[in-house]
């Protein structure tokens, strides 16, 4: 993207030194930091990187996943079981800025004292499946088990299917984003205070924060859903207004009645002769009547979709600014003109496999350097890290509020943007939510639980951005802010003069992050998207299904949560860039490209090998684990996830279930045999689990070293999960006028032993307008009153 004249061309994290000693829960955090220019050194054992065994593979036998998740890093073999290796690591830590590790307390290669002494301003992030303490702190969890434990699987699938895991390492992506955020937040605190920082990040807690309606319905059971437990209902959105239906050519289309139904969608239905009783003003005199009979409205849409080919309806809907999305498989995903126009794919030379197109970064900045290539193997002596000059501030820094003093203008709405700014607010930033009264209805206002969940810890002001006076107030606030974030359509901030180019002369230190669905340019830039649209267009919906189905997909808005985390990460990168260069950043965060990035291994496998993946339900998509499934347990709709890697674990599981002889059954004796006989394998496991209590099954398996976990819903998370209880993950906030005391989920990490907090309840719309205008911007009472009389603050 174009650079602001005179701006530094250094990458956002240029010069940042990162040590990564982690498996799946930390590897993506390191990759994200490397994407932004950090010098990331991944420590692996002399026997090689465990990721090298992860399928799928290039034609030369190299792991696609290892190549993707390690891109941009330097890989250094060190034997951390030896004194020499531990000394080498300690030496690196004395000059490093950040350490990302996944060591259990009783298995770390270094003592706490050694790590505390290693660097006076080292930021250490411990990212483990369950957190460093608590009764389940030693539990194992791969992607399947993490999805079961966190509530993800409880809402994915439908009543006809078992709970489904989401496709493609999404738990590791979620935790990786949080890990990178925590690393930069802790680094900021370490730099300002001159004191070491230690973050205890629980992957389990991180996942639970990203489950949308699972927690919302539990915290606010009196909502229109009238059910504290979010159901498993296929592609039907919790609001009842989004669902996937088959077109006449078989292509699924995600359609919705939630946006401008009366003035756009209903006339279209009438013109097509497909409105049914909705065209009868006596039966449906207004939109309220239609909302009250939403199932009928959706049935009309289902019948209507069946009269169109999927792509035709998708594109025609988007012409009418409807957030429709066609459900694409991976080969069709890669035909997108938006991918081509924005140069999202760029060749990476893979020795023995030739140039292979790799997906781009999660977002673009005007300080980006060349895209990272494959990891380079290096020796410790090759690193050449000199002593780090430390100039700590004299100010006291609360490690649990590392963003104190940072001001954010928040122009976001719905989920993706507000979730990202919630993360920044939890970490201490002064987030000022800027809204217009006319756009604050329904789920975009504090009278709705949805808004309440994502907008804690923020101040609220109202501004009429249609007036020049309102724009002047906004520009004055921008002059005193550090970050602006919006998720409007492409170009809105630029038209208001609130993009980086418009603000650079008055505030060169500000960063502006746009979260457009498709990004700020390209032939699809004006498309309207919500998370279900992004899921459909990127292959995530298609592949999150049982075999032979394509219409279920994720049961909540995954990419909204992860886009929000990406915006928070971009904010922290921008602050680091400003600290070093004096300049802010312009960030183009395309939620579509973020969704594509989450599917990167599948995209690369298709591009390199021609693979067209199909849904496999709960089986491992690359056949690396077997058994790998969610099995019935005793009780109504009770399930347990079990995942086995390798023959030794299989033999152990056979002992756990009391059938040691099963290990020698020729159908199951080897991994390849188990893959070839998965139907029979799953039947054997299900026969054992079906009569047993799910928590007992998980405890038995975990005690033997087998990854397993019950499928938990919101009631289980709140009442039956001893780990969340022991770590005080759930707490409350109080809004005396509207909600009283209500439940909230805490930030999923501790900083030097302390969680971010306390958590302030959502503010009423415009509650802080006077204080911001007079206290921060310096308007006099009379000037404020005059502008208010003109409707500027409305």
Task: Give the DSSP letter string of 102-124.
Answer: ---TTS-SS-HHHHHHH-TT-EE
Of 626, 656, 630, 625, which is closest to residue 641 (Cα–Cα)? 630
Residues with Cβ within 8 Å of 70's Cβ and at least 6 positions away in sequence, in order, are 27, 31, 42, 49, 51, 374, 375
Helix (H) or strand (E) holding 348: strand 346-350
- How far is Cα 447 from Cα 452, in angstroms, rounded to an integer? 8
What count of Cα atoms within 13 Å lies in the side-chain half-sphere of residue 392?
16
The three-class DSSP label of residue 462 is strand
- How far is Cα 296 from Cα 303, in angstroms, rounded to an integer? 11
**721 classed as catalytic:** no
The three-class DSSP label of residue 52 is helix
The alpha carbon dihedral of 319, 322, 327, 333 has a sign of positive
Show the tokens assigned to 200: 């205890």
- How far is Cα 699 from Cα 716, in angstroms, rounded to an integer? 15
Instruction: Label the pairing between strands 730-735 and 740-745.
Output: antiparallel
- How far is Cα 600 from Cα 90, in angstroms, rounded to an integer? 34
Q: How many CB atoms lie within 10 A of CB 681?
A: 24
- How far is Cα 207 from Cα 748, in angstroms, rounded to an integer? 9
CA torsion, ordered 525, 529, 534, 535, to nearest 10 deg? -160
Asked if 12 and 36 count as a contact pair (C-beta separation under 8 A), the reply is yes
- How far is Cα 792 from Cα 790, in angstroms, rounded to an integer? 6
Residues with Cβ within 8 Å of 148's Cβ and at least 6 positions away in sequence, in order, are 163, 165, 630, 639, 640, 641, 709, 710, 711, 712
- How far is Cα 484 from Cα 514, in angstroms, rounded to an integer? 8
Question: Cis (ω within 30 of 0) for the bond into 711?
Answer: no
Give me the catalytic one of 39, 560, 713, 716. Answer: 560
Asked if 310 and 247 count as a contact pair (C-beta separation under 8 A), the reply is yes
Helices 646-656 and 694-703: angle between axes, nearest 10 degrees: 130
Which residues participate in catalysis according to the annotation? Answer: 560
């Amino acid at each position: 993207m174009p650079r602001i004249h005179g701006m530094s061309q250094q990458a956002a994290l240029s010069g940042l030194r990162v040590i990564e000693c982690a498996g799946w829960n930390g590897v993506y955090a390191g990759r994200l930091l490397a994407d932004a220019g950090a010098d990331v050194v991944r420590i692996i054992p002399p026997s090689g990187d465990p990721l090298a065994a992860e399928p799928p593979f290039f034609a030369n036998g190299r792991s696609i996943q290892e190549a993707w998740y390690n891109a941009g890093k330097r890989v250094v073999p060190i034997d951390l079981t030896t004194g020499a290796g531990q000394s080498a690591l300690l030496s690196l830590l004395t000059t490093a800025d950040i350490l990302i590790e996944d060591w259990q307390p009783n298995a770390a290669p270094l003592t706490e004292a050694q790590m505390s002494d290693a660097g006076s301003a080292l930021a250490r992030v411990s990212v483990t499946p369950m957190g460093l303490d608590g009764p389940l702190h030693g539990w194992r969890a791969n992607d399947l088990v993490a999805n079961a434990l966190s509530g993800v699987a409880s809402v994915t699938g439908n009543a006809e299917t078992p709970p489904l895991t989401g496709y493609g390492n999404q738990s590791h992506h979620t935790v990786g984003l949080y890990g990178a955020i925590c690393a930069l937040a802790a680094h900021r605190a370490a730099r300002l205070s001159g004191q070491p920082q230690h973050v205890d990040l629980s992957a389990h807690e991180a996942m639970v924060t990203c489950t949308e309606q699972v927690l919302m319905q539990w915290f606010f059971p009196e909502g229109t859903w009238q059910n504290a437990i979010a159901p498993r209902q296929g592609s039907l959105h919790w609001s009842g207004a989004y669902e996937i239906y088959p077109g006449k050519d078989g292509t699924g289309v995600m359609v919705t009645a939630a946006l401008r139904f009366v003035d756009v969608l209903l006339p279209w239905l009438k013109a097509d002769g497909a409105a049914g009783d909705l065209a009868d003003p006596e039966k449906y005199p207004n939109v309220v009547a239609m909302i009250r009979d939403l199932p009928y409205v959706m049935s009309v849409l289902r019948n209507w979709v069946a009269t169109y080919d999927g792509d035709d309806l998708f594109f025609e809907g988007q012409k009418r600014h409807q957030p429709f999305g066609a459900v694409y498989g991976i080969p069709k995903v890669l035909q997108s003109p938006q991918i081509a126009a924005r140069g999202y794919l760029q060749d990476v030379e893979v020795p023995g496999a030739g140039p292979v197109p790799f997906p781009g970064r999660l977002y673009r900045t005007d300080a980006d350097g060349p895209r990272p290539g494959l990891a380079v193997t290096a020796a410790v002596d090759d690193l050449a890290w000199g002593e780090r000059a430390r100039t700590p501030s004299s100010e006291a820094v609360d490690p649990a509020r590392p963003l104190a003093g940072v001001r954010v203008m928040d122009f976001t709405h719905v989920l993706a943007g507000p979730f990202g700014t919630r993360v920044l607010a939890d970490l201490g930033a002064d987030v000022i939510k800027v809204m217009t009264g006319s756009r604050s209805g329904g789920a975009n206002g504090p009278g709705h639980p949805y808004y309440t969940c994502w907008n804690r810890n923020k101040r609220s002001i109202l501004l009429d951005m249609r007036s020049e006076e309102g724009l002047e107030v906004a520009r004055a606030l921008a002059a005193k802010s550090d970050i602006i974030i919006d998720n409007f359509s492409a170009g809105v901030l630029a038209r208001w003069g609130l993009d980086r180019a418009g603000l650079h002369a008055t505030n060169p230190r500000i960063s502006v992050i746009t979260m457009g669905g498709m990004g700020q340019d390209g032939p699809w830039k004006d498309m309207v998207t919500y998370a279900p649209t992004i899921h459909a267009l990127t292959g995530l919906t298609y592949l999150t299904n049982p075999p032979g189905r394509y219409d279920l997909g994720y049961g909540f808005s995954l990419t909204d949560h992860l886009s929000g985390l990406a915006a928070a990460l971009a904010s922290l990168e921008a602050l680091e860039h400003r600290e070093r260069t004096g300049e802010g950043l312009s960030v183009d965060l395309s939620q579509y490209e973020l969704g594509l990035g989450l599917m990167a291994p599948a995209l690369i496998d298709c591009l390199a090998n021609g693979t067209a993946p199909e849904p496999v339900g709960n089986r491992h998509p690359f056949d690396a684990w077997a058994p790998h499934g969610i099995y019935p347990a005793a009780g109504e709709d009770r399930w347990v996830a079990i995942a086995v890697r390798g023959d030794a674990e299989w033999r152990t599981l056979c002992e756990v279930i009391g059938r040691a002889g099963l290990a020698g059954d020729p159908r199951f004796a080897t991994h390849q045999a188990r893959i070839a006989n998965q139907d029979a394998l799953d039947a054997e496991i299900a026969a054992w689990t079906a009569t047993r209590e799910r928590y007992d099954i998980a405890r038995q398996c975990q005690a033997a070293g087998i990854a397993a976990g019950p499928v938990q819903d919101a009631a289980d998370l709140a009442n039956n999960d001893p780990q969340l209880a022991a770590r005080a993950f759930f707490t409350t906030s109080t809004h005396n006028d509207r909600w009283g005391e209500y439940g909230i989920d805490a930030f999923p990490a501790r900083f030097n032993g302390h969680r971010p907090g306390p958590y302030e309840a959502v503010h009423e719309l415009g509650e802080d307008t006077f204080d911001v205008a007079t206290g921060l911007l310096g308007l006099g009472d009379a000037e404020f009153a005059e502008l208010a009389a003109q409707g500027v603050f409305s």
